[in-house]
Every structure is written in C-alpha cells, then in structure tokens.
Structure 1
Amino acid sequence: MFATQRRGLDPGRLLLSFLLLAAWEAGSGQVRYSVPEEAKHGTFVGRIAQDLGLELAELVPRLFRMASKGGGDLLEVNLQNGILFVNSRIDREELCGRSLECSIHLEVIVERPLQVFHVEVEVKDINDNPPVFSLREQKLLISESKQPDSHFPLEGASDADIGENAQLTYRLSQNEYFSLELPTNSKQIKRLSLILKKSLDREKTPELNMLLTAADRGKPELTGTVQLSVRVLDTNDNDPEFEQSEYKVRLMENADKETLVIRLNATDRDEGVNGEVTYSLTSVKPNGKRLFTLDENDGEVRVNGTLDYEENKFYEIEVQATDKGNPPMAGHCTVLIEILDANDNAPEVTVTSLSLPVPEDTQPSTVIALISVSDRDSGANGQVTCSLMPHSPFKLVSTFKNYYSLVLDGTLDRESVASYELVVTARDGGSPSLWATASVSVEVGDVNDNAPVFAQPEYTVFVKENNAPGCHIFTVSARDADAQENARVAYSLVERRVGERALSSYVSVHAESGKVFALQPLDREELELLQVGVSARDAGAPPLGSNVTLQVFVLDENDNAPALLPPPPPSPWAPPGWPGGAGGGAGVVSQRVARWVGAGQVVAKVRAVDADSGYNAWLSYELQEAASGAASGGARSAFRVGLYTGEISTTRALDEADAARQRLLVLVRDHGEPALTATATVLLWLEDGGPAPKASSRRVVGPAAAAEAALVDVHVYLVVAICAVSSLLVLTLLVYTALRCSAPRGEGACVPGQARLVCSSAVGSWSSSPRRRRLRQQRQRVCSGEGPPKADLMAFSPSLPPGVDKEVGEERQGAGSNHPGQGT
C-alpha cells in the first residue's frame, strides 16, 4: 500500500516507462505513493531518498528540501533515514472534496547540482464520514386515496466519502404500510422512494412515523437516520405530474443572473383548486440552493448567483409541484444541471528556488530558478504555455507538465549589465486566451575580473627642494570596474633602490586615498629626478593590480651661497722676475704686481662657485672698496673687478705714488631670490722689478697674453651666439607655459601628463662645480637620456649696466669659456 507503484510491461506502459526514465535522467522523476487519510503522525509513506536514487549522506549537504502545492505541511521527510512520513492530519474530503482522485503533489529539490523530482502521494479514502440527511425529519402528505404500489420519493442521505465508502443502502423501520424502493445505480437516477403496500385509512391511521436508516458499505459500517412523518390526507386523490421525472440541462458557468435554466410543467387531473399547481425547490445538491430560483406559479428555474465550474461541475435540483386541494397533493421531478467550463481563470505563475545573485562567471545551462504554472480551467482553457521576455541570456526549459526551469543560456558581464528584469508570461489555450505575468529580477554577482586602471601610465610632478617633511606632492587614482570588495583599491609603493637608499625613505603613499607624501626634504643638489612606482591592487580573490610611474622633478631653490675657491699656484713657466702668486686661503687672494703694469692689465682673479643651478648659480662680482697702506686720498682707484669674470685689472698705469700694499674687498653675489653673497679679500703687493714691455694700445701681462689675443676675434661671435640661444630659450618657455595653461588641471603639484623639459645649449654662459659633476655621474640624466654625464647648462642673455659693455668685452678675453663665477 505504501510502496512505489509498479507498472506492467505491456507496450503502452513500457513506452510510458521510457518517457519517465528520460525525465528522470534530465533531473526530474516521478514517484508515486499512497497513504490513507486520517493516518497518525509519523505514519510511514515511503523511502523517498532510496526511491529517488539519493544517498542519505547527501541529503543535508545538498540542501534537500520538499515543497507541497496545496498540501501544506501534511507530509515531512526524515533527513536521517530518508523516510517520507505523515506530519499532520490528512482529511481527504477537505483536501479534494468528492473528486475520485486525490493526490498530494510534492516537489523534491536538491542542489549542487540542482535536481527537481516530482512525487505524487495518493490519499486513500477511509470510511470516516457517516451518511447524513439534510433534514432531521421528512414530512410526507399522502392521500388516503392512494393506491397500493404508489411511490413517494424521499430525500436520500449523502456521504462525503467516495467509492464503496459512499455507496449507501437504506433500511426502513418495521411497519405494515410502506416499504422502500432503493436506487439502482451510484448516480441514483432512480430515486429512493416509499412504496405503499396497502391502502391507507386516515380514520384508522391519520399519522405514521417511521425511521429511515442509511448505511454505507465501508468497514466498519457507518449509518445515519432520519425521521419520516407521514400524514394521511383525505379526498384529493390525484397528484400533480411532470412531463418527465428527470430533466437534463447544460449551462455555461458565466451565465448571467436571471438566465432561464428550464421551464417546468406539472399537471393535475383533478379539477378546481385540487388541480391548481404551485412549484417549490426542495433541495439543490451540493449546497447550491442560493444559486437558483424557481417561480412558484410558472415553474421557471433561473440563475440567481455566480456559477463556478471550478467549484462545482454538477447540480441536482429537486422540484416539487403541489396542488391546492385539501389536503394538497404533490408531484416531484429532478433537474440535473451540467456546468460547462468557460475561460474565466487566468493562469497563475509561481517562481521558487530563485538563486540570487548569479555570479557573472556562471556557466551556461545553470538553473537559476524554478517556475510552476497552473490554470483552474479545464481542457484547452487550462492548457498553459510560457514565454520569456525580453531577449536576454536566459531561457525557459520545460521539465515537467506545467513546470519550467529558468536556465542561463549565455555569458554574463556585470560591468555591462548589472541586473536583468525578466517577465515570464503564461498564456492559456482558451478563446480568447487569458494570460498572467511574473517578474523575475536577476541580479548579476560580481567576480574580480577587472584590474584597477590608472588614467595615465605615467605622471610628471614638480616639487621644490627643501620641502616640509610629510608634505603632499601628488594624488594617484585608479578606477576598478568591479563592485564592492573587488573594486576597493589599495595603493602601495613599488620599492626600489635610489642610490644607496630605499625609495621608501623618500616618499610614502596612503593606502586608501592614493596620496603621495614626501617623507623628508628633497635636495636638488643631491637628487634631481625621483622615479616613484605606485601599485594599485584591489581586494578581490585573487587580487588584481596595475602600476603607474611618477616622474618627480626637484626644482632648484637658492639655498647655497657662493663659495670662494683658493687661488691657483704660480705658473711654472713664468719668466724670471715675473711676479708670482703670493698664495692665501679661500676668501683671500694675495698677489705680487710689478709697478710697470699699465692700464687694463689683469693682475689677479677671484674664483667662486655656487652649488645651485640656473640663475641661482649665476655669479656677479662687485668691488666694495680699494685700500692700500699709502693710497693718496681722493685718487681714482687703480683697480676694478670684472662683473662676471672676477678678474682684477688696472684702470690706469701704476706709478710711484701708489701704495706698495693694496687691499681690495670683492663682493660675490648670485642671482637667486633672495640673493646670497660671499666676500673675498684681495691683497696686491706692488714691487719694482722685471723689464717693462713695449707700449701698445692694450697691454696684457703674463703668459695669458697669447690666450687672450686668440679670443679677441671670436668674442663677437660668442656674444651673438649667447643672444640667439637666450632668445630661443625665452620662446621655448613661452610655448611650454601656453601648453601647460591649455591642458586640463589635475590634482597635485603639476598638470598630469608628459612633461616638456627645455635643455640649454652648450653655447653661452654656464655654471658648474666639481661637486655637482660628481653627483650627476650617479644620477639619471634628465635631458640627455642615457648618455654620458654632462654638466648642467643654462643659456641666458645678461643685462649689463650702461658703460660696462666695454669692460665685459675685455674681461671675457681673459675668461674664455669659463663660468662667470668660477676661475680657471
């Protein structure tokens, strides 16, 4: 009784077995069980796990669950042993009414992978409902003139059970006048009636009470009783008679109120008031008396309510025709009304087991949701087809009658479409058809398939040296197209060596904001370019990342004062008697000068160097004062200093009146803002000695005369070249400034983008220092790429005060290509 039903091996059933086997292999199977109604809690129904081919150990890990359509929690499964058992009271009459077939349809769902099984549990009827009469007492009016064998219809009992449990037999209590005529079939077309066995005598027996017992054929037998009260009437001895004892009518369920069902006609052979007939409804089964009305005068039966095929498909109306005799006589007929189905119920759509969100890397053919449809109509009106809109990477797959699976039919990309709004439309086969929709919102889950991306592969940043420690110099930002944790970007420094130190000792980057900070003051004299690598990595699993490079250029500030260099030693090739250098430390120049030196002769030189670059390293020289031990008061100074060469030369010919010891103070100034200075002391000792050279328009003393004479001819070309290069530099700076202003501004110290650097020409004035040249040999070149180390050059067009042009020209003959602030 509780086992799975076995099917025979005849051809029809064999074909059905193959179909069921194919459905089982597709992930859906059907198992049938049976259970009696009113079974106690815990009653064994079947070994559902074993019958479905599932291992007991898989039930919990695979999230075994069971859903019942319309069955509530009547049945339950023990996950420990896989047994289906009764969980609560099952009332077949409440569940299925008087339907001959009553089943509980179960959906068994397991995941990993998702499988759906359909289980049908047939509820067997037991004899738990006794026969019931609608009235406690049935009254019959019978004329004494009735002849024996007259029939008097009785209202039978009804039994809520089915089958044999609802097949009724009747017994009449012992009496001498009446016997029972029983129905001949289950439809009770031949009604239950009393048969008069002998004529009645009202004067002898005016009333007769009997007990009618109805018993079903169940085991054990249940009974119901009704009291029959017979009143014997006198005289009027003809009953009203209908043309037929039974009428059959078909009626659409959507019939309007007051629709005529049938017009009944009963005749009475009596005359006068004994032949006048009125009609009345005695009963409408099942419980449909309020749905129909009967006109008591003309016998018209009309619709009085809303008929529903899905609620009741058949009505049985008992009509009584009663004459107006005294006593009145009655005739009876039955109207059988068959209700025809109309397409008045739209399909119903139910979405279950919706697995959200759906990861974007989900493989095609994965089941996303289960969809069931139903229609309360019958025939073509209840046949439902489903469709899916709009076009999307999903499709509907029919798994069983009125059951569908929502299946992934393509690839997903959350960055393109984050969610899908699907509409499942169920349409029946009626005319016109009815339809219903259900919306399914499918959210696409993110997976980490996008690395963070910077707006540019490289940024250029300018930072002034001597910055405050911890200052913000730039902010990097990377965008990740993923979501949530997969889009949360963390920034870090790509560690490398910068000379002898680690990059992390210079800069740091904030992990969340991407802000880059300078950890210490930068010194351009030590480091001109700092390449900073920043990595952006998301929080996905596994994480993805990308890198960006910051080219940090350190801008020069005037933070180094000019430094004086010691004078060079005397030339080894100086002729006998030539005054040589007297030595001295840095900042003090001591020189012996012959008295016969004429005007315009270079007698000494102050050498200085500035560790800065550009204009901050461009040096100029000024003579602060000229003093000697025996200088004559008010006399014009006999010496001057070259503005950019630092060379001390005579302004006139020396004579005996000049003091033997001359003390000069030379102020060395750079061109920074603010300018920094240094002071050099020049001591000149005038001595007699050595032959006087021949007079010339310009006398040059010492072995440098040959070099100065060689430069006289090229000096003009040098000045022209300096002016041309300086003009080109100004034009380049103007173009660079215009490009920077037109570009979009970014966050940080400069506009993001490829920096344009202007390199000076080798022609023109320049500044350098031995220390800077040594440092540059260890650094990456900014303008010259990967070539050999070069000294920084700066082209400029010096602005000279009026009257000094001639002096500068003369001084450059002795300076050659030297820096204006450095001696040879």
Structure 2
Amino acid sequence: KRKEREGKERRMGERCCAAVVRVLVLQAAWALSGGQVRYSVPEEAKAGTVVGRLAQDLGLEAGEAEARRLRLVAQGRRASVEVSGASGALLVSSRLDREELCGKSAPCALRLEVLLERPLRVFHVQLEVTDINDNAPIFPAARKNLSITEFTTLPGSRFPLEGASDADIGMNAQLTYTLSPSEYFSLDLQKTEEDGESLFLVLRKSLDRETIAVHRLVLTATDGGRPSLTGTMELVISVLDANDNMPQFNQSVYKVQVPENSERGTLVIRLNATDLDEGSNSNISYSLQMLSQQDGRDVFRIDRTSGEIRLTGDLDFEDVNLYRLQVDATDKGTPPLSGHCKVVVEVLDVNDNAPEVWVTSLSVPVPEDASLGTVVNGRVRCWVWPASPFGLEATFLGSYSLVLREALDRERVSEYEVEVRAEDGGAPALRASRGLRVPVSDVNDNAPLFAQAVYTVLARENNAAGAELARLWARDPDEAANGRVSYSVWEGGVAGGAAGSSYVSVDAESGRLWALQPLDYEELQVLQFEVRAVDAGEPPLSGNATVQLFVLDENDNAPALLPPAGSSGTLWAWAAWGAPAGQVVAKIRAVDADSGYNAWLRYELWEPRGKGPFRVGLYSGEVSTARALDEADGPRQRLLIVVRDHGEPARSATATLSVSLLEPNEAALAAGSSAASSAVSRSAAGVELGPAAASAATNVWLVVAICAVSSLFLLAVVLYGASRWAPRAAVLSGPGPTTLVCASEVGSWSYSQRHSRSLCVADGAAKSDLMVFSPNFPPPPPAPAAKDTQPEPSALLDTVSGNTLLSSLTHIQPFWTSRCAGSAGVQAPCPRAGSDEYLTRA
C-alpha cells in the first residue's frame, strides 16, 4: 500500500509539472505572437458555422477548454459569435451583416476578448467579416423626369444623371450602366480622379413631339459581383412643344348647297382645322380673307372661334347662284402659322316664281282658205321612254305628273332610268328630252331563306366544348337592316327529344354552330333541333331550318366483362382427364358500350403462352381444349384472357379463369351438383360451362339454339327479299344516294334503308349501331350583291367531310374480304365489292 501511495504521488507531481510547462510554453508563444488570433468569415454565414478551432489554436488539449471555462468576456450584440463549451470552437450565433457592422469600411474586423480561467488568462481574437454580393445597386429615385424642347435642342446635348449606389465594397460595388435601346438617346460615363464618376444622357437625334410626345427609357446599373445584381430607374422624357405645325383643314375645298329661301342665321357649314401642336400653339382663329367676284360680305359671316359660317343676308338664285369663299385658320404661336381652304356655296333654286306664258305663234285672223296643216296653235305632246312602270298624267295645261302604273320590286330592279320626251306640234316639230333617275327604296318583304330545309351535321363524340360544328347561312335579298340576319336555336320547332339549346349554340351574326358541351354517343346519337334566322326589319321576318346532328362514335369505352368477370375474383371451371381436343370448357362473355368497329370484340389467351392445353375462340370467347388432357398438365390450370376491341387505340379488359382437371367420375359429379344452378351461373357468373361440366343442360340449350337459328334464318330471308325488291328511298336529301352501314359482332356488315340495325354482344342489352352516310349540304350560294353583307358559307365540318366518310367506307372492303376468306362460317365465295350481296351478307 505504501508503494502504491508513493506511485500515485509521483504521477500527480509529474502531471503538475507537465501542466506548468504547457502554461509556460503557451505564455511564451503568445508573448512572441502578440497574444492575438485572427479568423475570417463571410457575411450572411448561417448560425452554427465554425469560424475557427479556438481551443486548439490557443494550445489547449481536448476537454481542457470546458474544464477551464473558455468563454468570451463581453460578447455584445455586434459580435454575433460564441464559443462552444464542449469543443472550444468559435461559432456563428446570429446573422452577420458586413454593411451593418462596418458600412463601407474595408476591411471589416471585429476585436473579441477570450477569457480562460484556472489560471486566469485573457486573449485577443480578431474576426474579419468578408463581403459577399448581397446588395443590389440602388438609384436615388425609381423615376426621373426630364423635359426637352423639340427641334430647338440640338443633337449632342448632355443631361446629367444621378448614378446608383451599392452598399457592398470592392468588385461587388463596381457599377456599369446600360440604357434601353433608343435611336434618340445614349449614355456617357466619365471617370476622373477629382470628380469620380459622372453619368450623362446624350441626345443623338432631334425630337419631334408630334411623333413621340413622351420617351420612356430604363437605366440599368449592374455591379461586378458573381452573380451580378442590378438596379433600374425609369427615365420619363417629356418633349416640349414648339410651333412647327400650321393648322390643317381635312379638305382643301368644301362644297355646300343652300336653298335660296333659307332664313338669316342659318348655319351654312361648320369648319374645323386641327393643329398638331399643343397649348397656345394649337389655339386657332378663323377669318374670311377673300371673296369671289360677287360681293358676299353682307351675306356670310364666320365665327372666329368655332369656324361656323352663317347667313347674314338673303339669297336669290335668279341673282347669284354660286359663291366662292376663302377661309384662313391662324394659330397663336410665335410666329403664328396659317392654313387655308375654299368654300363653294351653291344656291339651290326653289319654286318661288310663278310660270310665265308667251304666245308667239298665234296667227290671227285665220284665212278661210287656209290649207290643211297650217299651224294655228302649237300643242305639246309628252311621253316616257322606254316602257316602264311609270307614266305621265296631265295635271293642268303644260304640267305633267310622273305616276306609278305597275308594282315595283326592288330586289328585281333597284333603280330606273327614265327619259321624258316632249314634241311640239310645229312643222317641222321640235323635240326636247330630260333624263330622270328614280331609285326604289326597300321594304321588308322578304324573309330569310336557308339554302336547304334540313341540314345534316356530323360530330364526333368527346368533342371539346366550344368546338365549331358547322356554319349555317340564310339569304335575305333585302338591304340594310331588312337584310341583316341574326341566328338562334329555336326550341319550339321540334316536339320531344333532347333540347338543342342544352348541347349547341349558334352565333347570332355569323351562323356558326358551336358545341356547348362534349357529346357522348352512348347518351345521345341523334339530336334534331331548328335554327331560326330573323332579320332586323319592321316587322321582322324569319325563316327556319332543321338541323339533324348525328354523333359519331369513338372508342372511349373499354370492354366490360359480365359479373363476376368484371370483379377481382377468379372464374372457375372443370374439365375431365382425357377430354378430347375441341371440348368447350367455359365461355367468357363481355360487352362494349361503343358501337360498330369499336364494339367488335376479340378474345386472346394471354397466359400461359406457348403450347398450353387450352385455347380461346378469337370472337366467340369459348375456352376449349387445344389437345387431349393428360396428367402431365397438372391438377389446375390458370388462364389469363384479354378481351380487346377493334378501336383506335384499342381498349381491353382481362379475366382470370381457373380450370380444375378432375377424374371423369369427379367431373360428372361436379357437373351434376352444378346442373341445378347452371342457368343462374350463365346469367350471373359471366362464364358458361362446357359439355363436360353440364351435359344435361347443354342438350336443352342445343334444341333452343337450333330453333332460334332457324327462326333467324327465315327472318333474314324475308328481310333480304324486302330490301332486294323494295324501292330504295334516300334517307336524307343531298348529292348521291344515302347509305346506312352498321357492323355486327362478328365483323360482317349489313345494309338497310332508313333504319339502323341493333347490335347485341353476348347477352347484353341491344344498342343502336353506328350510322355512316354522306352529308347533304348543297354547294354554297352565289356571291351576294355589293349591298349584301351576309357571309359566304364555309365547309360544313372541319373534322368530318364527305371525302373522309367515303374513305372510311373503303375500309369495309378489305375487312369483309379478310373475314370472307378467313372465317370458317362463310361457305360461299366472296361477293363482288359494291354489290347488294356484298352489302347485305352477314
């Protein structure tokens, strides 16, 4: 024990000596280095960032900083650093902002005091905060307004601008300036040691206020940081006006007609001159500077402010029938500028003079032996040429009235040129003539008329709301408001059915037919409504047209397996060992809500691939044995069957069928136990068991099937005879015969007149098949007269046209040929394309 105690005392003494030596070495090192540690940290460093290993730099060992309580003496708010008690590292404790701590001073150094106890020591730490580019250049104001006089300010003139400031230092505060593109202004930056930087806006081109009254430019300052930051200031340069534009009249000569019986003070004309200048340079005064040879000073007067010329005297057509005036418009600029125009005043004659009659050919007395043909008193004969709806009626001696003798039709003749001829009874006779132009004004006597009574419109389902379906056009031969037609959907024209206004809308002016919502073929196949065209006459007249909107089917529905095939469960079936090839085990049934080719389903065995013991009928969905079953096939087979339609793109559904392979006696027992519920299984399970599973039920259904097939055959023969020899009336009017085509479930095509076939897939409900035909729109009407503002009708459909439908029908031939040549159910040779047998064969 004594030896152990002596050893402990010796080791303790050695430790004290080592500590004293370290302190002495540390003091000597600090004395040599001035006792100061320097660190550098960038501003905006995150809290917790290590500035330096203070304890290690002070020569302390691990854990000694915490034992001797290494800390900052007076940290203060501006330090934003702290000493970690555990590690002795100097850490950032809060946000460091160099601009807030030191402003523009460089470098930015913080002096810290660090206290170390046991023994007590004080150290000085210098922390330099380096600058980062965290301040964008700032202009003194966001906008600066300048005023420059047009034309008088010469190119090369300079206008001082205040530069931007940047709170950063160094390269982060080195600014460059750019100006938005302008053909009138540029920037000039001058740097001198005495004045520093001076920024000027330089005028490159003379300004014209009438061209551009205000110039808006953007001055951008960019610093030299990485990445660089920018600041902007808007320069608003207002161009001051100079009197460089003279007043201008919109015409050089004005012609005015004034009746001679106009009262004094009557307004003759109101003149208006414009001056592109502003302020006093655009204030205009008017004056009559020169008159024609006829003295009109006492007849006309002009208002110097408004430019109105009024009568101040009486007019007399028989005295003066034409006045020529000159008007000056002078602005109030310095010097003043003037504009000129002429006013020609024509005095119109009114019937203010009674007729005067002179007798110059009367010879009296008349000798009794005067020969025949002697003129005693001349009579004047008047008539209208050519023959027209007008005629002359004598009112009193020497006066005639032009009267209407026939009904007029402006749509046939809108204006008549009438010549009135007069011939006296002298010898030789003298003739005179006068031409009259009689325009015919319009009345609203024609209702708008559509090009056809019934329009056929084809639209694919799932169309976008707002898509254009067609354009209707009604012609109204009237003019102006009487011929201006507006369109609307009229609900009162068709009784029953879906409301057309719920699905479509027609543009009131153009007649374009729009879709209000996407169409769904499964919900609506045919929509019939009426479009009414109403003119703007008084009273208004209207015309109607029936629109038959046929919705074309798209492949937007996937095949649906009948329950429970559509669920996540697995279908079950049984087969006996040794069953021969071709033995039907089950039947997958599915329906497709689409129509035609989109609803034609095919069945494919997806798993297992290769040479499995089972196969599935391509179009029947019957699962049968591909070969004789043996024990090597295992006790159970799991089949994954995919049902696809023929749409573009094709849609599909999958069904899982589990087939249990049993001994013949077990299969018979399973068939007997399931015979009672076989009818329910066929309707609810989505799978029909094969003969091996329900042989008794198969015999019954076989008899029923034979009877049904016989009945359908007789019905088909009757329908074929009726369609063969019955008169074929077109369904819709239009160019060429109209044909309805529909697809059956096995891919054959049937033909019908005015009726669509019903398509039944498996045991699902019947649904109308797709009807395909050519639209019956006539060619567009001829171009209307110049006064007619009705638009030309465009193509009926943008997406579906007659050529598209014909090209779609051409797909029937290769399809039918392939089915005719490749299907086992077709015994006769393929008929010729286009023949009745080709169209009606099923």
| Bin of the TM-score, shorter chain as denominator length | 0.3 to 0.5
Answer 1 or 2: which has greater helix percent. 2
Which one has a bigger Cα radius of gyration?
1
